[in-house]
Amino acid sequence: MMVHMERQLVLLEDVPREWRLDERTRELGRRGVAAAREALRQAARQPAA
């Protein structure tokens, strides 16, 4: 069954908004990215199942 989209769903508003992350939030993000990278490195070392 084919369904045609007549209108695109808008996910973001066109109105620019200024925002900034505080230093604590940035640090938490950096730690999360570092942990994810390390998990990927470790997973790459594991033999494929």
- pLDDT single digits (tens) 1-49: 556 667 777 777 776 677 789 999 999 999 999 999 999 999 999 887 6
User: In terms of DSSP H, where are the helices of the chain?
Assistant: 23-45
**Gap between the Cα atoms of 3 and 48, Å rounded:** 39
Query: Token pair of 40, please?
Result: 């990927």
Q: Write the CB contacts of 21 (distance below 8 Å, at least 6 apart in sequence).
A: 29
**pLDDT on residue 20:** 86
Residue at token pair 């390390």: 38
Has this prediction a pTM greater than 0.75? no
